[in-house]
Amino acid sequence: MITGRLGWISAASALALLVGCGGDGGNSAGNNGNGVNNGVNNGNNGVNNGVNNGNNGNNGADCTPSKAVYNSVASGLIEEHCGKCHGETPQFGAPNTLVGDYDALLVGEVGSRLVDRMAVRAANKTMPPVGNLVPHTDLDTLVEWASCGETHTDHSVGLSADRPVWEAPTGSPDGMEYFDLLAPSFDVTPTTLDLYQCFTFEIPVDGERHIVRMEPMVDESRVLHHIVVLRDTDHTAPLTPHTCYSMSQGADFLYSWAPGTGAIEFPEGGLAAAPGDRYVIQIHYNNGAGVEGVKDKSGVRFYHAERTGPTYGMIAPGPLVFDVAPGEEKVVEGVCNARQDFTVISGMPHMHEVGTAFDQVLMRDGELVESVIELTGWSFELQYFYSFPMEVKAGDQLVTRCTFNNQTGSRVESGVRTQDEMCFNFMYVTPPPLGRFCDSATAEPFTYSPGACVGPDPIAEPAILDADIVEADPPAFLSGDTPADGRYELVDYALHIPGGVPVGELDEENTFVHTAGQGFVDGDHISVDFGLKFNIALTAGVSFDDETEVSIAGAFAPGEEAGTATLTSDCGAPDGSVLHFWYQAEGDTLRVMLQGDQGPVRTYSVLTFERR
């Protein structure tokens, strides 16, 4: 219900955003002899990568893929993703079978065996054929198993962007102070697959500094996928190593690395750093090869200097709340109304695993100023910072659009976990922004249309209400008569947040909730139907908006506890699903309260209906 969505938004305004990550031992990324070397081809405005494994996958290498991993994981992946053509009886022109026989995959000279050819074709995404969606973890696991961890998937295949990659100078700054934040010989077991591991550090600086350059330090490239750096602004991350499929409250995104990307360096100035600051290094491990005895010490090197020149911060324009149904291809859009002048130096478009395309434009006074970036062929495993220096003026709008293609079989919602989705451009700007996220209200007026479950003789144009957000406990619902039959109109809506908003205070001038709706009661059958458009603005600089519709109907039954009830759905939700709620019926008035819990934030929506 809508309360759950609002609850997530309140929590999300204070959460860091999950980005998967990996690394390279003491060298700049992409030059480790077995990684993915990136080249920027400005002639066609694209990003072109090639797999450079030094030995073309395994040619000349002494590689015997783990039989234990084959039995536990790889054989199933081969069957699922290759078996349609390369099954026990090859079909569709496939020259051989790949399933069911570990020994057959290893026949012949190293470099020309079936397992070697499979590793190279899968790494370059020439197999399975185009159109067959293989989850990135499955693909990486299969390639790493087949190559004994020496080959990485070329996630850049098909990636195209109309802005150049933001590249740091090749050499590190001479004589500049630095510190390393490294994983403490972390044990990556042979059965470790798709693990996001976090390490929290207090940075070793003596005074106020600028972080000038960040570069990856990769130790065990055989098991690394990504590295990401976050600033633990609110000091909520555990101080001991911990898994982190979503991030701690109040974190700021700073940097990410994946094979094919490199260091970043500010031409002047940098990111503010001070004694007591805590950074979180998040590393995505996947030991698809089943390599034994791996203890990883990867991380990031930070070059720092006295604070001179501009100080940069991170802003993330984009839609905060959306969902994508199973099998749906969908474009979502967010509008960021700039609250101050700022200069952009670069940005990193970010989606998760069902994203396919990204674009962002800058608007001023309703007119297009310029395209910020347009990207197709998205890869979750290869997230670049792109160069698009530009000036944004107070009142300008950054319009961010993401295209999603959800073939997972489940609804995907916006959120901080890897299996959720995001649509942001993480932009380095100066001066630092007033808030982390920016998703402002759209200008279109709110309209309401009756939904599918509204019932007979609906009210065509119920009153549009200005609803309230109340940072206090909801009212008590201690008793409830049987609601009288008839048509009801929504006359009041209030969203109660007992613990208050988690960041700053409500900006009452720019916060609004518009709603309209109605209900219908016929004996033990009840329907609730309403629309909602809101913009929530906080003094901490966060703002976000959404527009949604709720239409549900089913059998009504009072609960055992006074003031409680259930609705067993027969419209608007899967048949038989049960909604628990509070209610109170007095004469012609019916009040309904719905609870939403998302993360640490609990919300209650109180809807008051009058019988017409």
φ/ψ (deg, to 5) at 77: -65, -40
Q: Is residue 581 in some structural domain? A: yes
Q: Is residue 46 in some structural domain? A: no
> How far apart, in Å, do the first and last CA atoms of the chain sit?
25
Q: How far is residue 138 from each of residues 51, 82, 159, 432, measured CA to CA in Å?
A: 18, 12, 20, 39
What is residue 10's predicted lDDT score, i.e. its pLDDT?
30
What is residue 402's predicted lDDT score, i.e. its pLDDT?
96
Same domain? For 454 and 588 the reply is yes
Single out the residue of 492, 540, 411, 332 nearest to residue 4, CA to CA: 411
Q: Is residue 526 in some structural domain? A: yes
Same domain? For 463 and 386 the reply is no
CATH number at residue 305: 2.60.120.310
- pLDDT above 60 (res 337): yes
326 burial level (CB within 10 Å; 0-12, 13-18, 19+): exposed
Same domain? For 462 and 581 the reply is yes
Domain boundary (438, 469, 485) is at 438
Same domain? For 257 and 112 the reply is no
Same domain? For 418 and 470 the reply is no
Q: Tokens 């962007």 sit at which residue?
A: 161
What is residue 3's predicted lDDT score, i.e. its pLDDT?
25
Q: Is residue 5 in some structural domain? A: no
Confidence of residue 539 (pLDDT cuts 50, 70, 90): low
Residue of 63 and 543 predicted with greater confidence? 63
Same domain? For 180 and 284 the reply is yes
Average pLDDT on 352-359 reads 92
- The H or E element that residue 255 is part of is strand 251-257
What is residue 600's predicted lDDT score, i.e. its pLDDT?
54
Residue of 590 and 49 predicted with greater confidence? 590
Confidence of residue 158 (pLDDT cuts 50, 70, 90): confident
Q: Is residue 193 in some structural domain? A: yes
CATH number at residue 404: 2.60.120.230
Count the residues in the chain: 612
Domain boundary (115, 146, 177) is at 146
- pLDDT above 80 (res 212): yes
Q: How many CB atoms lie within 10 A of CB 12?
A: 26
What is residue 132's predicted lDDT score, i.e. its pLDDT?
63
Helix (H, G, I), strand (E, B) or coil at 372: strand
Average pLDDT on 347-358 reads 91
Distance, in Å, from the CA atom of 142 to the CA atom of 136, rounded to the nearest integer, reads 10
What is residue 136's predicted lDDT score, i.e. its pLDDT?
73
Q: Is residue 104 in some structural domain? A: yes
- pLDDT above 50 (res 128): yes
- What are the tens digits of pLDDT across the range 250-286? 677 889 888 778 899 999 999 999 999 999 999 999 8
Same domain? For 260 and 345 the reply is no
Confidence of residue 90 (pLDDT cuts 50, 70, 90): confident
Q: Is residue 37 in some structural domain? A: no
Single out the residue of 59, 60, 142, 69 nearest to residue 292, CA to CA: 69
Distance, in Å, from the CA atom of 243 to the CA atom of 587, rounded to the nearest integer, reads 54
Same domain? For 523 and 581 the reply is yes
Residue 161 and residue 247 in contact, taking contact as beta carbons nearer than 8 Å: no
Confidence of residue 166 (pLDDT cuts 50, 70, 90): very high
User: What number of CA atoms fall less than 13 Å from residue 596's CA on the CB side?
Assistant: 20
Positive or negative, the Cα torsion across 17, 21, 25, 27? Answer: negative
Residue of 504 and 495 predicted with greater confidence? 495
- pLDDT above 60 (res 472): yes
Confidence of residue 202 (pLDDT cuts 50, 70, 90): very high
Q: Which domain holds residue 136?
A: 54-146
Residue 65 and residue 106 in contact, taking contact as beta carbons nearer than 8 Å: yes
Confidence of residue 442 (pLDDT cuts 50, 70, 90): low
Q: Is residue 3 in some structural domain? A: no
What is residue 540's predicted lDDT score, i.e. its pLDDT?
55
Residue of 146 and 151 predicted with greater confidence? 146
How many domains does the chain divide into?
A: 4
Same domain? For 172 and 189 the reply is yes
* Contacts of 216 by beta carbon, 8 Å cutoff, 6+ apart: 23, 24, 28, 29, 227, 257, 262, 263, 298, 299, 300, 301
Same domain? For 462 and 597 the reply is yes
Tokens coding 135: 């989850």
Confidence of residue 248 (pLDDT cuts 50, 70, 90): low
Same domain? For 219 and 325 the reply is no
Same domain? For 341 and 284 the reply is no
